[in-house]
Amino acid sequence: MALLPILEYPDQRLRTVAQPVAQVDDRVRQIIDDMFDTMYDAPGIGLAATQVNIHERIITIDVSEDKSEPLVFINPEITVLEGDPESMQEGCLSVPGFYEEVTRIEHCLVKALDRDGNEFEMECRGLLAVCIQHEVDHLEGKLMVDYISPLKRKRIKDKLDKKHKLEARRQ
């Protein structure tokens, strides 16, 4: 198992649309294991393969307090079930240090494959519903900053560009 480098905004590779996983095999399961290690180490509650520069439709999530409920979604498809859109503060491992208000539906159905390639459906509510939508956005090349004003987005981009330049100088 390995910790994978997480791409940070404004890296253009985050805009890549992920391709469906054709076959769930040991290679894909290794990616999943590495993604969980990376997500837990970051620490985060969700990670899309796009964020670690793997452009396949794979998501890992664990919204439990004690990291005891790992969920895998391969080739996820979301259907909105009910409810009004709700706003919630979101953070993102690819936009570190920033939290912004994002509006999403709070109840959805997800169809996906599990780590063994078996199809399943799961109703998601609350934080889990928000998290799965956030991660599916990553697979589509969309980021939480796309939901905020251009001025806020530019401010975040400028701060992260400055951070990346400082890090590059230190190396």
Would the annotation count 134 as a binding residue? yes
Active-site hit among 8, 90, 106, 135: 135
| 65 among known catalytic residues | no
Would the annotation count 138 as a binding residue? yes
Look at residue 170 in the predicted model and tell me its pLDDT: 87
> Comparing C-alpha atoms, which of 10, 15, 21 is closest to residue 59?
21
Alpha carbons 111 and 129: distance in angstroms, whole number: 13
Do residues 1 and 37 make contact, with C-beta atoms less than 8 angstroms apart? yes
Residue 137 reports pLDDT greater than 90: yes
Paired tokens of 141: 């090349």
Question: Across-strand partners of 107?
Answer: 125
Q: What percent of the chain has pLDDT over 70?
A: 99
Alpha carbons 161 and 90: distance in angstroms, whole number: 20
As a whole number, mean pLDDT of residues 19-41 equals: 98
Burial of 169 (0-12, 13-18, 19+ CB in 10 A): exposed
- In this predicted model, what pLDDT tens digit does every residue of 61-82 receive, in sequence order? 999 999 999 999 999 999 987 7
Look at residue 45 in the predicted model and tell me its pLDDT: 97
Paired tokens of 93: 């491992």
